[in-house]
């Protein structure tokens, strides 16, 4: 394998997004990339990588040079001209992107997202109640892995009985065994099953529209243009896979890093048995987690033309990885970037976590809303907690960083009444 740093004759920094050691802790490698190889080439995998904040943001902004049309993953099976079939407008350039996003935005409105807050709070309380009563608690299995899927399922009008299976299929699409560098057969089978499920759902809603987002998508119209069944199915893939996975990982990462930084944890949970939580600090907790250890670590693009970066030409047609996780730790932009700090001066510099420009994540407001409400409910019920860090299990994914399992023990707040949380799921 030939791995070399552009312009650097010393021993090359090695970066492979499939390597398990990168999933465990990519940040030392990111630091070397930013300093030694801001434009990095992996010959064996056939990609370039940009790691500095300015380069990543500029590549997001320059959608004409850095195309999304072949998808956002390095996996061959998830890349190419058909990537939009499962990743919707995330894998489109103009004018397809503007048309698709515009039509989806007619249905996926800020008002529709904001109206979800009471139900997100009910679901959060219900899952917390069940987990805290039944024990032992796994934060991912019992809470963070369930809530986002339920929120999206309710938004889309998906049946309650199907949600656990949809989570399982979504996980199969993301997970990679060590040494596997493409979507595995289990993931391909999961994708095919999801297509069938979504196709049936769209057919049903077309015959019997309701108040859900799928029905709104079917009714969305712009200058006489409407979404096709295939386009709606692609958007459902994007919502259920990307929306579910990234929010689950955001919640888990917030709990993990607050545990690893007790002084920061005390800012939101209080610093003693008689102290009160501070829900006003929760938005800062969410934002700092998005910066410090964002769920989406990497987004792929394809160069549409020869373009020079750091004295080297990226040839047209080559794959380019935008290292979002590295950009958010760039010391050129963020003071003491490797310190987890909930009291950073506002406003924060531009985070790369949700992209930038015309491809800025349409679900960013929903992800922030879910995380804020869920963590507010956690600190309202839990005075303190401890994680079994040895038993925690990370997800192994080329794009997503977070946990599959996170065993924890908790100390409940005095007077917390679990009965108040009993609502229907």
Mean pLDDT value across residues 132-150: 89
Give the pLDDT score at 4: 44
Confidence band, pLDDT 50/70/90 cuts, at residue 196:
confident
Confidence band, pLDDT 50/70/90 cuts, at residue 276:
very high
Residue 148 confidence (pLDDT) above 50: yes
Give the pLDDT score at 348: 87
Give the pLDDT score at 190: 81
Query: Model-level pTM?
Result: 0.90
Confidence band, pLDDT 50/70/90 cuts, at residue 183:
low
Give the pLDDT score at 3: 43
- CA nearest neighbour of 410 among 20, 84, 90, 136: 136
User: How far is it, in rounded angstroms, from Cα 389 to Cα 33?
Assistant: 28
Q: Which residue has the higher pLDDT, 36 or 424?
A: 36
Confidence band, pLDDT 50/70/90 cuts, at residue 9:
very low
All structural domains of the chain, each given as residue ranges with its CATH number in brackets, are 3-421 (1.10.630.10)
Lowest mean pLDDT among 60-69, 75-84, 357-366, 373-382: 75-84
Mean pLDDT value across residues 354-377: 94
Q: In 103-239, at which residue ranges do the beta strands (DSSP E only) sit? A: 137-138, 221-222, 225-226
Confidence band, pLDDT 50/70/90 cuts, at residue 170:
confident
Residue 43 confidence (pLDDT) above 50: yes
Q: Are 370 and 246 in contact (CB under 8 A)?
A: no
Query: What are the helix and strand counts (H, E) for the chain?
Result: 18, 15
Confidence band, pLDDT 50/70/90 cuts, at residue 178:
low
Give the pLDDT score at 176: 62
In the numeric block, which tokens belong to residue 14? 């090695």
- Helix (H) / strand (E) containing 211: none
Mean pLDDT value across residues 329-352: 96
In the numeric block, which tokens belong to residue 209? 């529209």
Give the pLDDT score at 2: 37
Give the pLDDT score at 10: 56
Residues 6+ apart with CB under 8 A from 147: 120, 123, 124, 127, 247, 248, 251, 370, 374
- CA nearest neighbour of 285 among 264, 304, 306, 316: 264
Residue 223 confidence (pLDDT) above 50: yes
Lowest mean pLDDT among 52-61, 238-247, 392-401: 238-247
Quickly list DSSP for 23-83. HH--HHHHHHHHHH-SEEEETTTTEEEE-SHHHHHHHHH-TTTEE-TT-S-S-GGG-STTT
- CA 21, 26, 27, 33 dihedral sign is positive
pLDDT tens for each residue of 393-411: 998 888 889 999 999 999 9
User: How far is it, in rounded angstroms, from Cα 94 to Cα 17?
Assistant: 28
pLDDT tens for each residue of 59-117: 999 999 999 999 998 888 778 888 888 788 888 999 999 999 999 998 888 999 999 99
Cis peptide before 98 (omega within 30 of 0): no
Residue 291 confidence (pLDDT) above 90: yes
Give the pLDDT score at 425: 42
Residue 195: other Cβ atoms inside 10 A: 17
Give the pLDDT score at 421: 47
Mean pLDDT value across residues 361-372: 94
User: How far is it, in rounded angstroms, from Cα 383 to Cα 394?
Assistant: 25
Q: Which residue has the higher pLDDT, 77 or 174?
A: 77
CA distances from 97 to 17, 110, 154, 170, 231 (A): 27, 19, 26, 24, 12
The whole-chain average pLDDT of the chain stands at: 89
Mean pLDDT value across residues 165-177: 73
Mean pLDDT value across residues 214-225: 90
């Amino acid at each position: 394998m030939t791995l070399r740093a552009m312009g650097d004759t010393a021993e090359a920094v090695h970066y492979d997004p499939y390597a398990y050691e990168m999933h465990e802790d990519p940040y030392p490698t990111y630091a070397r990339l930013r300093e030694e190889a801001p434009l990095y080439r992996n010959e064996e995998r056939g990609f370039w990588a940009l790691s500095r904040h300015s380069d990543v943001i500029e590549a997001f902004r320059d959608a004409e040079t850095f195309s999304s049309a072949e998808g956002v993953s390095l996996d061959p099976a998830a890349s190419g001209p058909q990537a939009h079939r499962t990743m919707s407008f995330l894998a489109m350039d103009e004018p397809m992107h503007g048309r698709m996003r515009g039509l989806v935005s007619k249905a996926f409105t800020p008002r529709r997202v904001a109206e979800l807050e009471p139900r997100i709070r009910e679901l959060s309380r219900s899952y917390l109640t069940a987990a805290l009563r039944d024990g032992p608690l796994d934060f991912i299995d019992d809470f963070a892995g369930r809530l986002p899927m339920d929120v999206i399922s309710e938004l889309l009008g998906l049946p309650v009985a199907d949600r656990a299976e949809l989570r399982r299929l979504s996980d199969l699409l993301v997970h990679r065994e060590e040494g596997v560098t493409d979507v595995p057969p289990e993931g391909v089978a999961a994708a095919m099953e999801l297509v069938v499920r979504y196709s049936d759902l769209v057919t049903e809603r077309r015959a019997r529209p309701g108040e859900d987002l799928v029905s709104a998508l079917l009714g969305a119209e712009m200058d006489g243009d409407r979404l096709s069944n295939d386009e709606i199915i692609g958007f459902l893939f994007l919502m259920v896979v990307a929306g579910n996975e990234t929010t689950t990982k955001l919640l888990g990462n917030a709990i993990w890093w607050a545990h690893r930084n007790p002084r920061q944890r005390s800012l939101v949970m209080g610093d003693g048995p008689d102290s009160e939580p501070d829900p006003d600090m929760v938005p800062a907790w969410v934002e700092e987690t998005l910066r410090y250890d964002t769920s989406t670590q990497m987004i792929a693009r394809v160069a549409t033309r020869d373009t020079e970066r750091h004295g080297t030409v990226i040839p047209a047609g080559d794959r380019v990885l935008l290292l979002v996780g590295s950009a958010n730790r760039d010391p050129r932009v963020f003071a003491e970037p490797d310190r987890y700090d909930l009291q950073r001066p506002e406003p924060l510099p531009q985070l790369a976590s949700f992209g930038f420009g015309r491809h800025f994540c349409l679900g960013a407001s929903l992800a922030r809303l879910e995380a804020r409400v869920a963590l507010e409910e956690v600190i309202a019920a839990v005075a303190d907690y401890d994680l079994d860090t040895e038993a925690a299990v990370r997800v192994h994914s080329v794009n997503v960083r977070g946990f599959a399992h996170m065993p924890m023990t908790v100390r409940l707040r005095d007077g917390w009444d679990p009965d108040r949380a009993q609502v229907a799921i």
